[in-house]
Structure 1
Amino acid sequence: MLVALLLSLPSWAQREIRLQQFSIENGLSQNTINTIYQDSRGYMWFGTQNGLNKFDGRNFTVYKNTSGDTTSLSNNDVYAIFEDHEKQLWIGTRSGLSRYNRSRNTFSNYDYPEGRVYAMRPVWCIAPADDDHLWIGASGGLFKFDKGLRKFEHFKINDSIQNANSAKAICRDRAGVLWIGTQIGELMQFNPNTHQFSKVHFPQEGTVNYAIASIVEDSEGMIWIGRDDGSIYRYDITTRSFKEYTFLKKKYPIRTMIEDKEGNLWVGTDKGGAFLLDPNSGRVSSLGQRKENETDVVLSLFNDAKGDMWLGTYHGGVYLFDKMDTTFQQYAPQDKQENASQSNSVLSIFQDDESLWLGSDGGGLLQRRNGTVKRFLQNTTANSIAGNTILCLEAGFDSELYIGTYADGMSVLDRRTGKFKTYNQRNGLSDNSVWVIYNDVDHVWIGTNKGGVNVLDKRTGKIVHFTNVMQDERTISSNTIRAIFKDSRGKFWIGTVSGLNVFNETDSTFTAYYYRDSSNTISNNNVLCIFEDMKKNLWFGTHGGGVNRYDARSNTFTSFQEKDGLAGNIVYAMLEDAQGNLWMSTNKGLSRFDVVNQVFKNFDTRSGLSSAQFNIGAAFKGKEGQMFFGNINGVTSFFPHHIRQNAFIPPVVISDFKLFNKPVLLGDDSPLQETIDVAKEVTLEHSQSVFSLHFAALNFSHADKNSYAYMLEGFDQDWIAAGNNTTATYTNLDPGEYVFKVRGSNNDNVWNEQATTLKVIVKPPLWKTWWARTLFVLMVAAGLYMAYRFKINAIKKQQELLTLLVDQRTAEIEEKNKLILETEKRNAQLVHQKLNDELATKSKELTNYTLLIVQKNKLLDELKKKLKDVVRNPGSSNLRDFRNLVQMINYNFSPEKEWKEFNANFNRIHKGFTDTLKEKFPELTSNDLRLCALYRIDIPTKDIAEAMGISQTSVKMARYRLRKKLNLSPEEDIHDFLKRC
């Protein structure tokens, strides 16, 4: 149980419990939290002195009263929140009762209209009555609210004393009886059937009663009452007897109480913080250290669906307590730093049967035993530790403790006598900076910072040095040693800053392993730690290359780094738990490595660590399996089997919808007709081309570690792994129907595989609708028909003109023939012959035009027939016919074809105008030549634009470019110039 866990903290551990805080800096509207509630969808709600807050783990949505807006919250001071069986959320405020309309994101407000004395203001608490009613505890007494009729029924507790009617606390027990605590300290029972109050008397009730702040029914049916004097009573309904708990009496006033899922009673107090009471054993524990104006006044408590506890404070915001965060315990060697050379950094750790030994950075050696601390410091006496910065600790086989210091050599402590013996450069060490010590049967191996490896013979006291010799590959690869280890096969491994070495005992030489650009070599030459697991696998932690596993059979290495899930690529120390998992301290926290499945689980400050930056070699595993890791803020201790995975499967919600990165308001012309977390679909115009969906997995403990995956069905081919990103943005989708899906996990990567979905409909533009396309085809057909009629009329007019011309010429010829019949007979014959030839040519042209018109008339008839079929059957089955129809129109009524006929006729009339212009100005394009022809015959700009299928502005631009190509001065008129050509 949680109380037992808190009470069982080791004596050396600090009692501060890590809480996750949310305040105005995170978006909360105000730091005084009057009430807390979690709704059925999984959102957390916080009632403050300045608004109502909805929280999804990342973002707060704030609701406040807006003057003149009757659909806003009735008042910003919120005291109670309750959700009924219909999942309607009810809010008690200083101005009455409000109901939250989830789909419209508005509020409906209700108040009891009668008198000031018995006014329903404020509403202190809300409790269920039945499906159709609510019980309201308010300053004016008890009220029953009919949700269907929207009417109140008032029950006065006391007619003579005004404060006696102020129902500060209400509890409806499992029998349906109401328990009411008043401002003047009276505990009342209310029978909902008879509408009668009866007073319940406390034992040894005096003349002074204290206000009742909280009433709770526990899982066993007991009624708990918390009062303003700090006293807590448990009332047994069966025996009608009280039991009093006095551990807070006359110390801290009670402000709130709640039972958690383990049966513990949580108590929030004024100036005392939060306490936990085990009702069975009566044991009490304080929830960590109180902080003035932060966690010392707890006004509200709530146990969420996961089992975590929320604490609402006065001026401190809201705190989340995850009992999993209590698994890591911390200890700092220095309560106060006496000088700049001291720090809380723990560089080495050792535990024997009686004591925990810690090597500090500047603070000497610490021995913690039976709750007391003894510090060994360097001094001028002969029997003292060599130095105050302790880099390593290693136990001897008897009572010796070997101690390596940063700059003062190695000390050996006899733990029985408390006497020290020191080895340094004066008596055999090659270097006074001792980084690692390994105790063997007859020898002590000492790794130094600059003097290589020193081996101390325990029997003779002599020291042998192994150092690097340039150009001799048989010597150790570097004199800077960081790790020494003897494996189960009897091999000595030495980690240096420049390679990994194996000692060859037969000839006292070394074989070095170096990093090379190969996948089966060690990943980094700077080796910080060496470890052998229970399966005899060797592991090497490096400075920048992660951790390496050595395969003795193939003499190769396999590395695991950040890209594989390791917390950080600098691995300082390793330990193994009873399940065979490796625990590694890194520069970015702790990593637990499942060797079999090759999966990492990482822990950092958000998981309860005091620091994520650990120290080289600072690790120790106790006999009971407790692990210790030294970091820059002290030492972290834990039992691996106490660390549980968060098994809570979080609900996933779509929390916001934005167009062009702006929030979308509800409205008739809006894509949203109801709030996005209620809506099943969203319909967008084709112009609303950029939209974003925001989502949240409602796991609130370390929510920044929640992960997400989403896809837009119909657009995305597969799920998109989004990490902890909570937004998906899409742009320029084709018209159609899509389904947005999102899944989420909690902070321990436990996924909710049931996707939350939203249908997204993108409407096509007007010109892409089937009826618009049909209308377009009809307009094209009508245009072609008009063009056909225009050509027929033109031909008729040309025929009439030619007939008139022939008649006039014939009359002139006849008149001339009469005058000069004799003398001009031959000339007349020649003129007549020429005229007949011209008429034959024109007749041939007219015949050709007539045949062309007849052919196009047939095509138009065919188009009309097919258009009727498309209009009668507009479905997708006629799509091929529609395409064939469009191809036929494009082929037979090509604008390019018409331009060719225009050019041919124009050049015959204007004597090769186009060819002459092209020869003079070769850079002119075909469009330029068409434009010149139209300007020569003085066609208006508007008609030119229609003829060429471009805008009038484009015609003006083309005219400007044409003037430049024709080298015209600003004064020259283009029409006059072209007429001269």
Structure 2
Amino acid sequence: MRKSIYIFFILVNFFCTVLNAQFSPYFKNYSIADYNAGNQNWGLSKTANSQLYVANNSGLLTFDGIKWTLSEMPNKTVMRSVLHKEGRIYVGSYEEFGYWQKDEQGVLEYHSLSDLIKGQPFQDEEFWQITEWNDAIIFRSFFNIYIYKDDKIEIIHPPSTTISCHVVDNQFYVATLRHGVFSLKNNKLIPFITDEVLTEKKVSFITNYQNTSLLIGTALHGCFIYENKKLIPWQAPINTELKKYQLNNFSKNNDNFMFGTIQNGLYITNKKGEIEFQVNKENGLLNNTILGQTLTNDGKLWLGLNSGIAQIDMSSNLVFYNDSSGKLGAVYDIINFRNTTYIGSNTGLYYLDKENKLKFIAHSQGQVWDLKEINGQLFCGHNNGTYLVEHNKLKLISTHAGGWVIKKVPERQNIYVQGTYVGLVSYKKEGSTWQVKHLGATTNPFRFLVFENKSTAWAAHAYKGLYRIKFDVNYDSIVSIKNYSTKGLNSEYNVRVYKIKNDICFKTNEGWQKYEALRDSIVDAPILNNEFGKHAYVISEENENILSLKKELSIEFKSFNTINYQMIVTDEYLKNRLVIGYENISNFNDNQLALSLNDGFLITDTSKKVLNKKPLKPFIDNFKLNGKNRTLDHINNEDFKYKSNVSIGLTVDGAANHFFEYSFDTITPTKWIAIENEKIELNNLTEGDYTLYFRSNNSFKNPSEVISLNFNVSPPWYRAKTGYVLYMLLGLLIMAIFYFLHKGKIAKEQRLLQLDLEKKQAIILKEAEIENEKRLISIRNEGLKSEVKLKSKQLANNAMSLVKKNETLTNLKREFVLNRNSFDTELYQKLLKKIDGSLGQKDEWKIFEYNFNQVHEDFFIGLKKQFPKLTHKDLKLCAYIKMNMLTKEIAPLMNISERGVETHRYRLKKKLNLDKEDLQTFLKIY
């Protein structure tokens, strides 16, 4: 910090003779809307890890660099003082004092110390100051001094109203009204300064000065030097201001004093009391009343205001000119011409007088684009044309509107070319007069212009297009103009053209390219894309040594000559203050550059190499486990449950251009993950030992130191010892169950096997029984077949016997007929009748029919049913045919001739509806 402050004040020494209240170091305001509490902020205290605590009207304000939180006093009274010491935040208010401390859940909890006062009057006491000294915490009210040490309080009673307390070189001083200054020794007040000069004066601060003296500041009478027991006024320029605007508080660093006043903000002086800067409402401070201030180790000065809070960056090498009135408007160009600062804005042209008061140049209303010193004269490129600025007055020399940019022609004296709304214009100085001429050929608006050589230039259209232009020798006209938008240009929109190290380079919407003369085409420029970035663009290349770049979150200055030199103005200082698309860097003095802003400008010293600083390492300000706060001490000793949810809040010193990242692996850079809203949430954590790494980073990928956090997540009960015991018991139970189930299964299978065996035996027995029955049936069938065969044979034999009998009787009858005459007629008739009776005997047929039905069941019934017209004779013939009897065998049985049999056969076929089918074959089916 000391080195940064040293650089800051070397830059300040340049400005201290010319700058007044309008110039200031960078500061940032925090309004009531930001911290959402009371308007007045009486005291401030900063911790080692950059937490800010503020004594506010509404209670204790805490700022972690990102968010504000408010903790109210139990009695809801105004908090007047605050001091952080070793994890405790001591506070004082009306009739109450004590300290805040985080509980086991990480939540601030208030502990009152008022209860330690016994038997002492405490009415209307209000504690305005808290000081640390010799391991004691000392609370000051207007009436008493309260010393808190070893959980005890001792009260000191000054002889009159106590105005302030101060620790200087380990001595404790108490300033009173009317009785001077006392020193505290062995808890007793010893008179130290009793000079009448301090009588009735309110001492605001006491500090050492030049090693042998004390500097004592009073509210309305300025500062005094106390040396060799003498009190004399401090002969310093600041004293007049302090007497006029009422000194209220004080702080210092190695190089300067900071005086807070009631009526006119903050004065920053050197050790001699010479004013270098003033920060007040005129240049943007929210309020002119400084109620309290504290300076931190990182060079940040925090101010408690009557309405709001402010932070001043004392470590920056930037100086800002702010116009809080709004008259200036957005600045487009600045130039220091003949020791006068001229400022071109959207409202006109201004200059700063000797007292740095902003002055408007008459008749300059309108947009100023460009300020350039040419041949000892100041040119002003204006919306209305181009002017010469002489003795703070305007002289119009060109009516060509919109003088955007003007460049000198290489190797030519007194010839310049300007890009305007209406094309290119040449300027030639002849004697003391400038000859101005429009070069014709085009009226395109050219905003960017650069010379390739003395006869050729490149001009970029204000919105779309890129042109290569050749001029005649005298620069009276354009010889040729060629559109290079189709010569390899990645995008013809928003083209910017520059000359970088003798290369013609282009920045488009798609990145960087350059002109390749041998191929007369535009090619990609990977080196520039890698060095600058695809979206960065140059805002000034006029400085021969330094290139100024606009990047997404910063302005960078890169040296052409010094390796790795760069200076960065981060977004922390520029946020919402740049004139986007029209950013401009101007050479202000030998080593100073001025950057245009929308409400003023800033100046930086390029002779001081200031690399982008690493951000401060983060710290964990909040840890929640399953929605409940936990302190970090408890985290290291606690195992989290399985599937727990963890929320980790991070913070770092306020007002820094940073973001947070976390990783489970510090070796692999790609594993760093950005944290949104300064909080990381890990849900449903599985078991294991976790090590989380955190760091702050900035837009330049310049990370801070890494911090780590270790914790353990226990496995679920089913993967813990309890689970394994249960698994063992469950395993034994399962084994027992399986044993009994298996045993039961075997018994069941045995029963099933027995049943199956019995069933199979029953089936075998059944099958054997069936087989035996089949055998019996077969035997019976065989017997029946034999019986049928025997009966058929008997039937056939009977039929043959009958045939033979009938044949014999027929032959006998024939013989009787032949020998009729040999017998008596009566005898003949009698014998012939018996023979005929035997041939036609019905009983024989019945016997035959019965026997035939025994062999061929239902033969006659079936035929008769199907063919009801069959006669008795027909049935007989069917029976004889079925028995395969020949015609000659059938004829005697039917007592007809063989021809009669054939005739009967024919008639039978008709009755049976047979045509060609054999009668014997047909009858087999019955």
TM-score (norm 2): 0.68
Q: Does the CA-based 8 Å contact 2:556-2:568 persist in structure 1?
A: yes
User: How far off is 1:738 after superposition?
Assistant: 0.7
Task: State the AA in 2 paired with 1:198.
Answer: P
Task: State the AA in 1 paired with 2:268.
Answer: L
d(CA) in 2 for partners of 1:249, 1:607: 30
Task: State the AA in 2 paired with 1:144.
Answer: I
User: How far off is 1:676 after superposition?
Assistant: 3.6
Partner of 2:451: 486
d(CA) in 2 for partners of 1:715, 1:194: 56
d(CA) in 2 for partners of 1:66, 1:549: 69
TM-superposition CA deviations, 1:336-356 (whole Å, max 9, x none): 76xxxxx73444555543544
The answer to whether the aligner puts 1:256 opposite 2:249 as a matched pair is yes
User: How far off is 1:619 after superposition?
Assistant: 4.9
d(CA) in 2 for partners of 1:650, 1:414: 48
Matches within 5 A, 1:683-832: 683-688=639-644, 690-698=645-653, 700=654, 702-703=655-656, 705-713=657-665, 719-722=671-674, 726-745=678-697, 751-753=703-705, 755-790=706-741, 792-793=743-744, 830=769
The answer to whether the aligner puts 1:122 opposite 2:107 as a matched pair is no
Relative distance call for 1:776 and 1:658 in structure 2 (3 A) is same
Deviating more after overlay: 437-446 vs 580-589: 580-589
Q: Does the CA-based 8 Å contact 1:391-1:434 persist in structure 2?
A: yes
Partner of 1:513: 484
Partner of 1:198: 191
Instruction: Mark the runs of 5 or more structure 1 residues left unpaired by the alignment.
Output: 68-74, 159-163, 338-342, 379-384, 425-430, 469-477, 666-671, 814-825, 835-981
Among 513, 516, 525, which residue is 1:558 paired with?
525
d(CA) in 2 for partners of 1:529, 1:806: 104
d(CA) in 1 for partners of 2:518, 2:585: 29
Partner of 2:406: 437
Q: Give the match's secondary structure for 2:244.
A: coil
d(CA) in 2 for partners of 1:17, 1:25: 24
Q: Give the match's secondary structure for 1:204.
A: helix
Q: Does the CA-based 8 Å contact 2:25-2:314 persist in structure 1?
A: no
Deviating more after overlay: 224-233 vs 295-304: 224-233
Partner of 1:21: 29
User: How far off is 1:736 after superposition?
Assistant: 0.8
Relative distance call for 1:639 and 1:515 in structure 2 (3 A) is farther
d(CA) in 1 for partners of 2:567, 2:392: 44
Task: State the AA in 1 paired with 2:23.
Answer: R
Partner of 2:863: none
User: How far off is 1:756 after superposition?
Assistant: 1.5
Partner of 2:803: none
The answer to whether the aligner puts 1:269 opposite 2:269 as a matched pair is no
Q: Does the CA-based 8 Å contact 1:537-1:550 persist in structure 2?
A: yes
Q: Give the match's secondary structure for 2:281.
A: coil
Q: Does the CA-based 8 Å contact 1:185-1:211 persist in structure 2?
A: no
User: How far off is 1:328 after superposition?
Assistant: 3.8
Relative distance call for 1:461 and 1:488 in structure 2 (3 A) is closer
User: How far off is 1:56 after superposition?
Assistant: 1.4
Among 165, 170, 175, which residue is 2:165 paired with?
170
Relative distance call for 1:230 and 1:484 in structure 2 (3 A) is same
Q: Does the CA-based 8 Å contact 2:666-2:693 persist in structure 1?
A: no
Partner of 2:329: 344
Relative distance call for 1:722 and 1:445 in structure 2 (3 A) is same
TM-superposition CA deviations, 1:200-256 (whole Å, max 9, x none): 2234355xx1343444446836444333435333333x5554444642465333322
TM-superposition CA deviations, 1:425-468 (whole Å, max 9, x none): xxxxxx65544333443644243434x33446656958463425
Among 477, 500, 505, which residue is 2:466 paired with?
500
TM-superposition CA deviations, 1:552-596 (whole Å, max 9, x none): 688644279999776965x57314557x33114689874434668
User: How far off is 1:789 after superposition?
Assistant: 2.3
Partner of 2:827: none
TM-superposition CA deviations, 1:129-153 (whole Å, max 9, x none): 434x443433442333332xx2222
The answer to whether the aligner puts 1:146 opposite 2:139 as a matched pair is no
Identity of aligned residues (%): 15
Higher relative CO (Cα under 8 Å, sequence separation at least 6) belongs to: 2
Matches within 5 A, 1:4-43: 5=12, 8=16, 10=18, 14-15=22-23, 18-27=26-35, 29-43=37-51
Aligned length: 739
d(CA) in 1 for partners of 2:767, 2:332: 129
Relative distance call for 1:563 and 1:119 in structure 2 (3 A) is farther
Partner of 1:278: 270
Matches within 5 A, 1:3-152: 5=12, 8=16, 10=18, 14-15=22-23, 18-27=26-35, 29-66=37-74, 77-84=78-85, 88-102=88-102, 104=104, 105-111=108-114, 112-115=116-119, 117=121, 121-131=125-135, 133-147=136-150, 150-152=151-153
Relative distance call for 1:366 and 1:610 in structure 2 (3 A) is farther
Q: Give the match's secondary structure for 1:247.
A: helix
d(CA) in 2 for partners of 1:462, 1:151: 87
Among 599, 618, 633, which residue is 1:652 paired with?
618
Partner of 1:530: 498
Task: State the AA in 2 paired with 1:181.
Answer: A
d(CA) in 1 for partners of 2:183, 2:586: 61
User: How far off is 1:46 after superposition?
Assistant: 1.4
Partner of 1:816: none
d(CA) in 2 for partners of 1:620, 1:828: 120
Q: Does the CA-based 8 Å contact 2:21-2:280 persist in structure 1?
A: no
Partner of 1:155: 156
User: How far off is 1:280 after superposition?
Assistant: 2.9
Q: Does the CA-based 8 Å contact 1:188-1:199 persist in structure 2?
A: yes
d(CA) in 2 for partners of 1:417, 1:783: 103
Q: Give the match's secondary structure for 2:664.
A: strand
d(CA) in 2 for partners of 1:210, 1:422: 64
Q: Give the match's secondary structure for 1:251.
A: helix
d(CA) in 1 for partners of 2:772, 2:180: 132
d(CA) in 2 for partners of 1:692, 1:38: 25
Task: State the AA in 1 paired with 2:34.
Answer: N
Relative distance call for 1:586 and 1:685 in structure 2 (3 A) is closer
User: How far off is 1:793 after superposition?
Assistant: 4.9
Q: Does the CA-based 8 Å contact 2:25-2:313 persist in structure 1?
A: no
User: How far off is 1:55 after superposition?
Assistant: 1.9
Q: Give the match's secondary structure for 1:752.
A: coil
d(CA) in 1 for partners of 2:769, 2:47: 109
TM-score (norm 1): 0.64
Relative distance call for 1:682 and 1:31 in structure 2 (3 A) is farther
User: How far off is 1:612 after superposition?
Assistant: 0.7
